[in-house]
Amino acid sequence: MILQKLNDYYERLATDPDHEIAPFGYSVQKMSFCAVVPLQGNSVQFRSLVSVVSNGRAISQTLVVPGQSKPPGVGVNPCFLWDNAAYMLGYRADDPKPERTRQQFEAFRDRHLSLESAIGDPHFSAVCRFLEWWQPEHVAEHPELAEITQSFGCFRIQGEIGYVHQRPAVREWWGQQDSAEDSRRGICLVSGKQRTIARLHSPKIKGVKGAQPAGGAIVSFNLDAFDSYGMQQSFNSPVSEQATFQYATALNLLLSDPSRTVMLGDATTIFWTESPTQAETYFPSIFSGPPLASNEAEDAELKTQLAAFFKRLAQGKQDDLAHSIEDATTPFYVLGLSPNAARVSIRYWLVSTVGQVSEHLTRYVNEVELVNSPDPTPPTVRQLLRETARDTKDIPPVLAGSFMHAILTGGPYPLAFYQAILRRIRAEQLIDKDFRKDWIRGLHRRIAAIKAVLVRNFKKEISVGLDTTRPEPAYHLGRWFALLEKIQRDAQGENLNTTIKDRFFTAASSTPASVFPRLISLSQHHLNSIESKGLRISREKLVQEIASRLQGFPNHMNLEDQGLFHLGYYHQVQDLYTKKSASKSIPSAAESE
């Protein structure tokens, strides 16, 4: 099904005039120069195809050209009517091996000359005349070459519009060329039609994190243990050459689009829908944040759009901008790929609908919502996963996959994720401040993650802010602890370097009975030294309010209670500081940690 759906995606793009996608037998390549030759082929001018965009970056023109780029390796493989300057002109800047460059040019020239009679097009013949006339020594007369030959080049005839490789006669001839390999016909698994079956699947899949830079293949059979019934290589699974090309081209296109690609854990994940929707480019940002735009203004605009999108999601509105009502049933596909040597394996594959995915994402956005969030958008999956380990590289890859899967399907979050978050909270109270610049955000995200797990896995209903009527004692213990700490600050000054939190937080959240009585008696001293009588009374009242909800201190708290403790603490801290001054809440709350 995966190959079928990718093939469908290719066809969707092929019928979309806004997209440039290479037809079967062609590829999209970056061109930096063009050789303009007259019909006699006895002179040449070189034109640059590089355009400079506003921010000073040079962008080569992309053109659809016949054939694929060269296979890796040392062989001499000239392309057809396009190539790099070494093949086209026998020129290479600072050439280490002039002999080889000469061979390349000769191979390129001979290939074209041998095809002249078969093609029989005047423009193609002009190129042949040019190749006969041109000597690599002519380069000296064209100093501009040094600057413009960084990418590929192609041919154009003087006074004509369009390139030689776009000529109808040339295209017609190219379309008739079968791959020279021993062709085998059969039924294609993707299209169901009688076609030439691909022996190897090309083009290679590029852009999967950790895979070989030259690209990998989803379908490949390299050892005899994979062969069945005497079939060799990809004849084991009959897929036509055309379908092979189409699915791989579509997949490469998806993988090269940063707004659809999410790299999490060991997998590279892509998102697409059956027909164009905004969801397919908006949804991935829930996982890895907005893609980097090419300039700041665009970036800012994108961020505002996304913030608005998440806000609508959080309010539970079926998002009108992202998809209209009839779009809700549009199939939505998520494909996770991970590398295994030269092969690309399917990590996960999910078929859903835009409506369903949108519903699940809404749930996630609601679950992670908290008061006084330091970010305008909800924490992304990448950010939450970041909080499960000390260093980004220590995040277990399995966790990323299963966490993402939980969000997309609405299933329970992995408990390993919850445990990892609690472990980091315990381990990192002091280190954080020195270790990470964004530790305030980090703390917020951990609490958000705890809340999400409590809501989904432990079926709790949790508000975004302080909820003084919660039944669980653990939550109120967390509140109490926040209050005890605040009283200490009230008594000894806001800018204390260390508070009771630094020494007792872990113990208070796991074995309250062992520390709370001690902390409470300590707090009496703090209370007595608060100068303002009004403040003292209001604090005492709050202590009584919280204490009235508790019956003794538990000896031990399980993971669920620990999560509630953290949440209660966070809510109470936010509440204590918000009342005083709303604008100050985040930095001061952070100081108190």
Partner 1 sequence: MSKSVKLHVWGDAACFTRPEMKVERVSYDVMTPSAARGVLEAIYWKPQMRWVIERIHLLKPVQFTSVRRNEVGTKASASNAKSAMKKGTGALGLYIEEQRQQRAGTILRDVAYVIEARIEVIDTSEPVEKHYHMFKRRAEKGQCFHRPYLGCREFIADFAWIEGDLPPTELPEPQSNRDLGFVLLDIDYTPAEGKSFDVIEANTGKKLLARPQFFRAELKDGVMEVPPVSAREVVS
Count helices and strands (H / E) in the chain. Answer: 22, 12
Q: How far is the CB of 5 from partner 1 (least distance, A)?
A: 9
192 touching partner 1, by CB under 8 A: yes
346 touching partner 1, by CB under 8 A: yes
Contacts of partner 1 in 392-421 (CB under 8 A): 401
**Residue 18, phi then psi, degrees to nearest 5:** -75, -10
Q: How far is the CB of 109 from partner 1 (least distance, A)?
A: 40
**HSE value, Cβ hemisphere, 13 Å, CA-based, for 171:** 13
Residues 480, 368: Cα–Cα separation, whole Å:
23
- The packing angle between helices 354-367 and 439-456, to 10°, is 120
Give residues with Cβ within 8 angstroms of 179, minimum separation 6: 196, 241
Long-range contacts of 301-309 (CB under 8 A, 24+ apart): 303/376, 303/377, 306/282, 306/377, 307/376, 307/377, 309/282
Where does this chain touch partner 1 (CB under 8 A) — which range of 18-26, 168-176, 346-354, 467-475? 346-354
Query: CB-wise, 162 or 192, nearer to partner 1?
Result: 192
Q: How far is the CB of 38 from partner 1 (least distance, A)?
A: 50
Tokens of 582: 């709303």
DSSP 8-state assignment for residue 274: S
Q: What share of the chain is helix, strand, coil (3-state, %, to 5)?
A: 50, 15, 35
Residues 25, 194: Cα–Cα separation, whole Å:
18
Among 102, 129, 343, 503, binds partner 1 (CB under 8 A): 343
265 touching partner 1, by CB under 8 A: no
Query: 390 by DSSP, 3-state: which?
Result: coil
200 touching partner 1, by CB under 8 A: no
Among 168, 229, 320, 548, binds partner 1 (CB under 8 A): 229
226 touching partner 1, by CB under 8 A: yes
357 touching partner 1, by CB under 8 A: no
Q: How far is the CB of 186 from partner 1 (least distance, A)?
A: 8
4 touching partner 1, by CB under 8 A: yes
2 touching partner 1, by CB under 8 A: yes
Among 53, 169, 187, 321, binds partner 1 (CB under 8 A): 187
Query: CB-wise, 238 or 284, nearer to partner 1?
Result: 238
* Cα separation values, 307 from 271, 277, 294, 401, Å: 20, 18, 19, 25
Among 27, 29, 269, 338, binds partner 1 (CB under 8 A): 338
Among 52, 74, 225, 325, binds partner 1 (CB under 8 A): 225
Identify whether the C-beta of residue 32 lies closer than 8 Å to the C-beta of residue 148.
Answer: yes
221 touching partner 1, by CB under 8 A: yes
230 touching partner 1, by CB under 8 A: yes
347 touching partner 1, by CB under 8 A: yes
218 touching partner 1, by CB under 8 A: yes
Q: How far is the CB of 402 from partner 1 (least distance, A)?
A: 9
Tokens of 222: 């390299």
Query: CB-wise, 218 or 483, nearer to partner 1?
Result: 218
DSSP 8-state assignment for residue 219: S
Taking the CA atoms of residue 236, residue 241, residue 243 and residue 248 in that order, the dihedral angle to the nearest 10 degrees is 90
Where does this chain touch partner 1 (CB under 8 A) — which range of 336-344, 366-374, 532-540, 546-554? 336-344
Residues 187, 196: Cα–Cα separation, whole Å:
8
77 touching partner 1, by CB under 8 A: no
Where does this chain touch partner 1 (CB under 8 A) — which range of 23-31, 229-237, 451-459, 540-548? 229-237
Among 14, 115, 189, 416, binds partner 1 (CB under 8 A): 189
Tokens of 497: 């370097």
Question: Is the N-terminal amide bond of 203 cis, ω within 30° of 0?
Answer: yes
Query: 153 by DSSP, 3-state: which?
Result: strand
Tokens of 193: 């039609």
Tokens of 205: 């899949």
Where does this chain touch partner 1 (CB under 8 A) — which range of 224-232, 289-297, 300-308, 505-513? 224-232
Among 21, 22, 148, 190, binds partner 1 (CB under 8 A): 190
For partner 1, the binding residues (CB under 8 A) are: 1-4, 187, 189-190, 192, 218-231, 236-239, 338, 340, 343-349, 353, 401
